[in-house]
Amino acid sequence: MAVRRLVAITSCPTGIAHTYMAAEALAKAAADAGLVIKVETQGSIGAENQISPEEAAAADAVIISADTTVAEDRFAGKPIVHSGTGEAIRNAAGLIAQAIALADASAAAATPAPAAAGAAAAPASGTPTDGTDYVAQVAAAKAARKSGQQGPYRHLMSGVSFMIPFVVAGGILIALSFAFGIHAYEQQGTLAAALYQIGAQNAFALFVPILAGYIAFSIADRPGLAPGMIGGLLATQVGAGFLGGIIAGFVGGYAALWMVRNIHLPRSLQGLMPVLIVPLVTSLFVGLVMIYVVGEPVKAINTGLTDYLKGMSSGSAVVLGLIMGLMMAFDMGGPVNKAAYTFAVGLLASNVYTPMAAVMAAGMTPPLGLALATRLAPRKFTAEEKEAGETAWVLGLAFITEGAIPFAAADPLRVIPSIMTGSAITAALSMAFGIQLRAPHGGVFVLPIPNVINDPLLYALCIVIGTVVTALVVSVIKRPVVEEMPAPALAEPALS
């Protein structure tokens, strides 16, 4: 049999760790199976190792391991396996096997069976008898079920993936403006005022419209972009904020999708649909919904949530910190982790900074704690894990929770509870101490910026405590690595 050729695309919301870890796992699994694979990564710096039209045409099957929406037009007619990046990291070999099975089934269905003697000729029209349509229908049904189960989450994460660069750039620029003094930006004409203008009045002003626009884009492609962004901008103007932007994105996206699918004009007017009719009607619809239906109720929810978080008692703060810490460590960059992070980021626009501090600290301690554990209990880790521990130091300091994944994949029942314990304690302490963080990313590298955090030393202490707790718990409950003993040498027979 000819060597199977596969192509794959990996993409995660942040486009940093999961994207590349999934690509590496798929490449290794394919090499182990003796297959040829090319993996395109759609990360934070754009598409890398891009699949050419010739490579797409030559592929026997396609693997899409993405937590965001990925365009699949170039793979029309090819069997496609869908998964999230987490599944690719955990079970790349299984995805490779699924892809090969689909490729074999598609090839078998496309090969006409020899006609039996005396059999009637196939009809010239009607349902084909070679099974090709049936295979396509089965694949489409599976994809539809998967879309129904994960569609809204994928659309939301697509919006978040485009939003994050605006939030990070804007947040760090705002933090840099505070380096000149917490109110220095109020002096017009100064560098602090310029930094604040770029970060707060432009980058931060755009992140809700970008979120809404790309949620709608994920749902309806280009027709959804205009109503989504317009609805997102209106959400900020009517006070509905981050939550309103999410609603605007889904309303705009599904409205545009409905129009494209259900309104059919004469061919002479069809060209007006994407450039005039769809954006005009859907933008008007979303705008009226945001102004007259959604705006005030969501504004009230936003205001209530903001007031509650600002006036939260120490006991409530600790409980919220525990919950966010558990979420950050549970799947290390997966959907639950992203939900906690997105919640904290959304509150930055409302000038609520304590959840952001708790979330970032809780996301740093899993890789840091595991890196420390490889030093405290080296007998309980393999040589590969000890090597991963060296990298985990850097990943943890940079707030890349995915640095804990290699350890969790090897021993999930012991590692995941350990890192959840450390992260929960870290976030609870951060909330209890009222630590506020104005930068949405960067790990320890943003802490030296003056005024970016209200108490850097106490914040560092929270991270150190969580790191030590994680290391101690995993060192206690993890079992020593059982190394293979060399076979005993046979005794030489005594000479007589």
CA angle 320, 168, 363 (to 5 degrees): 40
Active-site position among 12, 317, 429, 471: 12
The residues, any chain, with a CB within 8 Å of residue 22's CB and separated by 6 or more, are 10, 12, 65, 85, 86, 88, 89, 92
289-305 b/e with 16+ CB inside 10 Å = b?
bbeeebbeebbeebeeb
List own/partner pairs for 327-330 with CB under 8 A and 24 or more apart: 328/359, 328/362, 328/363, 328/366, 328/401, 328/423, 328/427, 329/362, 329/363, 329/365, 329/366, 329/401, 329/404, 329/416, 329/419, 329/420, 329/422, 329/423, 329/424, 330/416, 330/420
Q: Is 332 left (phi over 0), alpha (psi -120 to 50) or beta?
A: left
Catalytic annotation present for 462: no
What is the crossing angle of helices 241-262 and 335-348, to 10°?
A: 120
5-11 and 36-43 as β-strands: parallel, antiparallel, unpaired?
A: parallel
Interatomic CA distance for residues 60 and 7, integer angstroms: 8
List own/partner pairs for 413-416 with CB under 8 A and 24 or more apart: 414/474, 414/477, 414/478, 414/479, 415/370, 415/474, 415/478, 416/329, 416/330
Catalytic residues: 12
